[in-house]
Chains A and B, each alone.
Chain A
Amino acid sequence: MTKNVLIVDDDKDLLVSLKEGLGKYNETFSVFTSENGLDATEKLKKHTISLVVTDLKMEPMDGFSLLSHIMENYPDIPVIIITGYSTPEMEKLAKKGGAVGYISKPFIIKDLAVKMLTTLRREADGGTLHNVSSGMFLQLVEMEQKTCTIRLEDTSSGRKGVLFFKDGELFDARMNDLQSKDAAYEIFSWDQVVLSIQNVCQVKENKIQSDLQGLILEAMRLKDERSGAEEESPDVPEPIPVIEEVKTEKPDPVSSVRSRIEKNLGARSGVEDIYLDSSWNDLISQMSRLGAFFRIGKIKSVFVDIGETRNFILKQDEETTVVAVSPKCPRDRIMQILN
């Protein structure tokens, strides 16, 4: 996924040489330019920008004001400062204001490029996925209760958007000048996307305040309306199943496992039953061989799908505790809790 970088400087010659010098990285990022902070704010509205590189002294709207605007409205976008009037105080102030990098002029373009590439790489520290259905993936993020920033590109139109998840809840969305729910509806209407995941979420406030499933369904409805195909049934993801109540009659360690899961996941755990069953011991013992071969220590817990309607999470102590779960349970969370 090619990223967009915005470079802001009132020195037109510098902008031209930067655009030319950074052209060799065009497979990684495209360069947009602005001559002042005010114009940059407009570019930020129109394009999905991944990184801003800005000078400090400009009119109208200087680099500090732009930095402050970005921190308030686009806290996920990293900012690198380039300035010809560098002082230690200014550098301290810029970093305190949220800048991730600070480069004094004059500089070598390659040095700036290295800094830019390093910063951009963090945008996908959680990995990249090609040609996936966004609905399926996003429900997984919700179920796994992930905290992350997901950048998506619609493979058919090339449009880009950003989603912010905190503990599996969609906190905010942005697509060009669309924000929050409007942006989410647009992004959720994309069928196939390329997405990259960053394992942080800079958005602190929940601006969406809606259930993800409902948002996806509404996005599909709006898409149908737009395409005038009301009669066709929308290609909506399967609804998240109703979670069955956990039984409470088992002795320890079953009750211990149950209470830990309930405490951490509540009614969304997807747990159907918890019991002791030594018939799994052979399988766990076999699986332990893999760990022993690759020298990664003793086995702690195992998730297993053996083709039944429910799956199993196994925890071996003196006896094997079996947690029977629905296929859509947050398995990683449950395994973490067990460990």
Chain B
Amino acid sequence: MKDLFKDILSVEGIKGVVLFSFKGEVLFKTFLSAIPEDPETRDWALFFDSIKKVGESDLIFEDGRMYLRKTELGFLVILMNSTAPVALVRLNCDVLLPSLKPAKISKGLGRFFKR
């Protein structure tokens, strides 16, 4: 899975990637720098239910940015610093997201993904 996000994670300024299911469960997470809190400690169900209509979103905060994208598995959230090349991140998502599909029954985390 980390391999799938390799190009995104290699973009300068990317701090991490989290893939949430539509119910808010963390399906995958990887961070390139320390984060204040593990996203698995929160219940995200209501949050993702409230943004279920959103297909894509760019969010600019005072001290960073986030890119949110709906996939077939759930929502991909990419955390980055304010200077990260977001257009490149979006394009990387265009390229990789077709590979991110529910797979047929198999064991382990791999059952969620198809490359």
Contact = CB atoms under 8 A, between A and B. Distances in A.
Interface of A: 125-132, 136-137, 140-141, 144, 146, 197, 199, 282-283, 286-287, 289-291, 293-307, 331-332, 335, 339
A300 B7 contact: no
A307 B53 contact: yes
Nearest to A312: B57
B56 interface: yes
A321 to B, nearest CB: 14
Contacts of B62: 291, 296-298, 300
Contacts of B85: 126-127, 197, 199
B79 to A, nearest CB: 6
B11 A302 contact: no
B106 interface: no
A137 B92 CA distance: 11
23 contacts: A126-B85, A128-B10, A129-B95, A130-B7, A132-B95, A140-B87, A144-B87, A197-B88, A282-B50, A287-B51, A290-B66, A291-B59, A293-B36, A294-B36, A294-B66, A297-B61, A297-B62, A300-B61, A301-B60, A303-B56, A304-B57, A332-B86, A339-B60
A128 B7 contact: yes
Nearest to B53: A306
Given A144-B87, A331-B58, A335-B58, A283 B95 contact: no
Contacts of A304: 54, 56-57
A283 B50 contact: yes
Contact of B55 (A146, A297, A305): A305
B57 to A, nearest CB: 5
Contacts of A140: 87, 91
Contact of A130 (B53, B60, B95): B95
Nearest to A313: B58
Interface in B1-47: 7, 10-12, 35-37, 39, 42, 47
Contacts of B66: 290-291, 294, 296
B91 A129 contact: yes
Contacts of A335: 58, 60
B76 interface: no
Given A140-B87, A141-B87, A293-B36, 17 more contacts: A125-B12, A127-B10, A127-B11, A128-B10, A129-B7, A282-B50, A286-B51, A287-B51, A287-B59, A295-B36, A297-B63, A300-B62, A303-B56, A303-B59, A304-B57, A335-B58, A339-B60
Nearest to A311: B56
Contacts of A302: 57-60
A290 B16 CA distance: 14
Nearest to A296: B64
Residue among A144, A197, A305 facing the most chain B CB atoms (10 A cut-off): A305
B76 to A, nearest CB: 13
B67 to A, nearest CB: 9
Interface string B77-115: 101000001111001101100000000000000000000
A19 B87 CA distance: 38
A152 to B, nearest CB: 14
A254 to B, nearest CB: 20
Contacts of A128: 7, 10
